[in-house]
Amino acid sequence: MEPEDDKSETSTSISTLPDSILCHILSFLPTRTSIATSVLSRRWRHLWKHLHVLNLDGYSFNTPELSRDHVEDRFVDFVNEVLHQVQVRRIQKFRLEGEVRNYSCTLSFWIDAVTSEPHLQELYLSLWNTSGSFYTLPYSVFSCPSLVSLVLKGDIIVSFDNLKSLQLPSLKNLDLEIISTELDKLLSLCPALETLKVFIFFNSGGIDPNEIHVPRSLKRLTLESEACDSTVDHLEIHTPSLEYLDIALVACYSQISVRTYPNLVEACLNICFDDMHIDWMPKLLNAVCGTKFLALQASTTACLICVPSLEFPQFCCLVRLQIGFEFFNSRVLIDLLHCCCKLEALLIHACESVSYGCLYGEPVEPSSWTQPVSVPSCVVSHLSIIEFRDYEDLEEEHEFIAYVIERGLVLKTVTIHTRTFTDQEIKDHILKKLSVVPIGSSICQLKLE
């Protein structure tokens, strides 16, 4: 129990803070909680009305004894009262989440009210409808000149009859995980966009994108699409300032147009195994060859393995490589290591599942160990960390690990993770086999987990 004098001191110290600081503290709370502080004292009674941040959560009204219609009515009344009491003109951040069933018109009224004001910088909408219908976002969202960040999630549709007078000149961050959007039209409204995160739902009853052209101003791009039999004709990523790239393409993409990215720091490629993807994979790999951190998921590796006469580009800046395999392939990995002269950390994930496109051919088959003609330079001079997940102690896996342990002159740690439920006897056998391999580095530690 806190002593009375300590409570008094705490209360006194809080009461000495100016209203602006107290409002800033309240802005980190759900608005419903902020309003509850009005009972503390006369000074707190109207403090919440000066908030610049509104966080309105419809799910917080759910209780077992109330019907969904009753919960919805209470939430609508609450938001109406909040917007009536606060100074809407001063709102900088507006967050609204909940289930939309019977109040679409009222919802549009709220959104129009906050987006028409000059100070709104961040808008977050997470709206879901279990009845199967969708909510069409009002145009006012796309003509808000002050908006810097826009996050849309749920059963929302974004469509445009006319782009005239629509523009988001200040928008830097766009995060979309909605049922349908005319993505190319929306992106054309964002000339200053720097961060784009998109999850595309295909065959959802909405509008499937045929072409995607991302803004040249982008610095961070995360693009993901769900598994389906749909095809995107053209994906264009002409973004010279790109620093981060994470693409998970499970739908089929007929053509991809890329440029070199001189500022790229990190890239993660998860491209489903598909005949048409095999054709353009080398072009994408060349575009990201300047990155420092690279992750190739198993589906991507499967595409690369099937590229006829594949020649890897030189990854002169790469220091960390994460690579997945459905079936471990030492030949491809050794070829890749020859092109990574500064590689310091290698993370291998065997037995990863592979996602397939709509036009895939034969699955990738297991390979076998072949002694390399020469040792990759990074193994001798830079490689200090190796981690191998889902290790099964197949002959090819063992020979590869033994090869790099023996020739890795600066290795610090080699960590082997066996598959889940591997019994201790097998683990002991694996460790015994690797323990007799000559170690090239005097400081190398071999760990089996």
Span 390-430, pLDDT tens digits: 998 889 999 999 999 999 999 999 999 988 788 888 888 88
What's the whole-model pTM score?
0.87
Strands (E), 19-91: 53-57
Looking at the structure of the chain, the number of domains it has is 1
Burial degree of 239 (CB within 10 A; 0-12, 13-18, 19+): buried
Residue 228: the pLDDT is 62
Residue 117: the pLDDT is 85
Say how many Å lie between the first and final Cα of the chain, rounded.
45
Within a domain: residue 32? no
Residue 201: the pLDDT is 74
Structure tokens at 368: 């076998």
What percent of the chain shows pLDDT beyond 70? 91
Span 112-153, pLDDT tens digits: 999 988 899 999 999 988 777 788 899 999 999 999 999 999
β-pairing, 135-136 with 149-158? parallel
- Between the alpha carbon of residue 442 and those of residues 104, 407, 432, the distances in Å are 68, 12, 19
Helix (H) or strand (E) holding 110: helix 104-115
CA distance 351 to 442: 31
Residue 22: the pLDDT is 86
CA distance 51 to 406: 64
Q: How far is CA 368 from the centre of its chain?
A: 35
Within a domain: residue 150? no
Local structure of 197: helix, strand or coil: strand
Within a domain: residue 300? yes
- Domain residues for 323? 221-449
- Between the alpha carbon of residue 378 and those of residues 278, 349, 396, the distances in Å are 28, 20, 20
Within a domain: residue 289? yes
Residue 184: the pLDDT is 87
Within a domain: residue 225? yes
Residue 215: the pLDDT is 92
Residue 363: the pLDDT is 55
Q: Are 91 and 117 in contact (CB under 8 A)?
A: yes
Within a domain: residue 168? no
Residue 205: the pLDDT is 52
Residue 10: the pLDDT is 47
Residue 7: the pLDDT is 45
Residue 355: the pLDDT is 56
Within a domain: residue 62? no
Within a domain: residue 36? no
Residue ranges of the chain whose pLDDT lies below 50? 1-2, 4-10, 357-359
